[in-house]
Amino acid sequence: MDALSYKKQYRTVGFTIFVISALLLLLRIAGYGLSIALIDKVDADAMELITDVAFTLPCQILVLFVFPFLMYKFYLKKSASELMAFSGYRKIDWKICLLSFALGIFVLGLSWYFSIIWQAFLMLLGYDPSGSSYMPPKFDILYFLTTVILTSVLPAICEEFTNRGGFITTMRGSYDELKTVIIIAVAFGLFHQNATQLLYTALMGGLLAFLVLRTGSVFPAVIVHFTNNFLSLCLDNVDAYISTAFTDYITSSFTVLSAFATLCFAFAFVIVFAIVKLTKRNKDNYYVRYNASVTASGFKPTLRDNAFYFGAVVMTVASTIVTFGFGL
pLDDT per residue as tens digits for the range 206-217: 999 999 999 999
Q: Which amino acid is at 33?
A: G
pLDDT for 37 beyond 70 = no
pLDDT for the residue numbered 97: 95
Residue with the larger pLDDT of the pair 43 and 104: 104
- Is the distance from CB of 261 to CB of 110 less than 8 angstroms? yes
Say if residues 231 and 153 touch (Cβ distance below 8 Å): no
Q: What pLDDT digit, counting tens, does each position of 163-209 carry?
A: 999 999 999 999 999 999 999 999 999 999 988 999 999 999 999 99
CB-based contacts of 196-200 (< 8 A; 24+ apart in sequence): 196/115, 196/118, 196/119, 196/122, 196/127, 196/129, 196/323, 197/115, 198/118, 198/320, 199/114, 199/115, 199/117, 199/118, 200/110, 200/111, 200/114, 200/115, 200/118
Q: Sign (positive/negative) of CA torsion 290, 84, 209, 121?
A: positive
> How much is the pLDDT for 132?
59
Please tell me the distance from the alpha carbon of residue 312 to that of residue 21, in angstroms, as a whole number.
Answer: 6
The per-residue pLDDT for range 88-115, each reduced to its tens digit, is: 999 888 999 999 999 999 999 999 999 9
- Rounded-to-integer distance, Cα 194 and Cα 30, Å: 16
CA–CA dist 191, 129 (Å, integer) = 20
Contacts 24+ apart (CB under 8 A), 35-44: 44/134
**Is the pLDDT at 156 greater than 60, yes or no?**
yes
Q: What's residue 58's pLDDT?
A: 87
| Contact of 268 with 103, CB cutoff 8 Å | yes
Q: Half-sphere exposure of residue 273, counting CA atoms within 13 Å on the CB side?
A: 6
Q: Residue 311 and residue 269: Cα distance in Å, rounded?
A: 35
Rounded Cα distance, 162 and 290, in Å: 18
